[in-house]
A and B are shown apart, each in its own frame.
Chain A
Amino acid sequence: MTLERFLIIGAILFAIGLYGALSKRHAIAVLMSLELMFNGVNLTAVALSRYTIPAALSQSQYAIDNAARFILTGQIFTIFIITVAAAEIALGLAIIIAIYRSRQTVLVTEASDLRK
């Protein structure tokens, strides 16, 4: 139950973020919902790397000698996800501000020129 409850919280965060990202018209609200989804995924990765063992660990001698890189891989992935999310949010906000300057709106439904 200790592992499952963290995974369930992660799934709930991801689902709430999915709802927000698809249903909001304000671009900054969409970005905030994306952050919620990232956090759900991060929580899942860290919980899995904390509570489960790779099957390799109990079998091969190499895996036992290098146990750290099998146990902490989830945390490494989370570091990379956080970095990419930071880059994404900086670029996203820059794009939103550029759109706001050129056409005085931040609603994603108003910036649909490529559809025409």
Chain B
Amino acid sequence: MTPTSAAENALITEIIFWIIALSTVVSAIAVVQIRDLFRAALFLIVTLLGVAGMFILLRAEFLAGVQLMIYVGAISVLIIFAILMTRDIDEGSPSHSFRIPVALISVIFMGLAIYVVSNTDWNLLSSQALTEDQMGDVQAILSNGIPNLASMLLRDFVLAFEAVSLLLLAAVLGALALVRGR
């Protein structure tokens, strides 16, 4: 690859990142600001899609697929169904009387988090910290993520894996029991 095309690729990645970031943040704000709940749910889908795009930029392609299937495919459909089932009394999504202090707290939290993030000396994954061989290993793991992920999930984290499957079973049974007519 010639240097100019590498620079072009970096520029394209940069532009794609900013497009995704902007649409994610704007639609997240729309989720909490729009009064019509159905439209808010549609904007939530845009936000979830944006996060899936960021997962791809972070080379977590499996997670992007999981995000698309579970969040965009299943959870948002559930939310829209619930909105439609409870809609006849719905007059938008009103706020509490204390929304101003809550907004203040959120902005303070955000400012604090951004300050901390930009002032921390991160132990970055760069060629200074690792030797040539270790860098090669890391790149191999990142580009071959799914098999490594699978072996970790079923070896190192197998106990949590089983616990989560039990939790899912319990949640499904509980949801069925709750919505069953009597």
* Chain A residues with a Cβ under 8 A of chain B: 3-9, 11-20, 22-26, 28-29, 31-33, 35-36, 39, 42-43, 46-47, 50-55, 57-58, 64, 67-69, 71-73, 75-76, 78-80, 82-91, 93-98, 100, 104-107, 109
Contacts and interface: CB of A to CB of B under 8 A. Distances in A.
Interface of B: 17, 21, 24-25, 28-29, 31-32, 37, 40-41, 44, 47-48, 51, 54-55, 58-60, 62-63, 66-67, 70-71, 74-75, 78-79, 81-83, 85-86, 89-90, 92-96, 98-99, 102-103, 105-107, 109-110, 113-114, 117-118, 122-125, 129-130, 134, 137-138, 141-142, 145, 148-149, 151-153, 156-157, 160, 164, 167-168, 170-172, 174-176, 178-179
A74 B79 CA distance: 27
Contacts, number: 253
B contacts with A: majority SS = helix
B31 A42 contact: no
B106 A28 contact: no
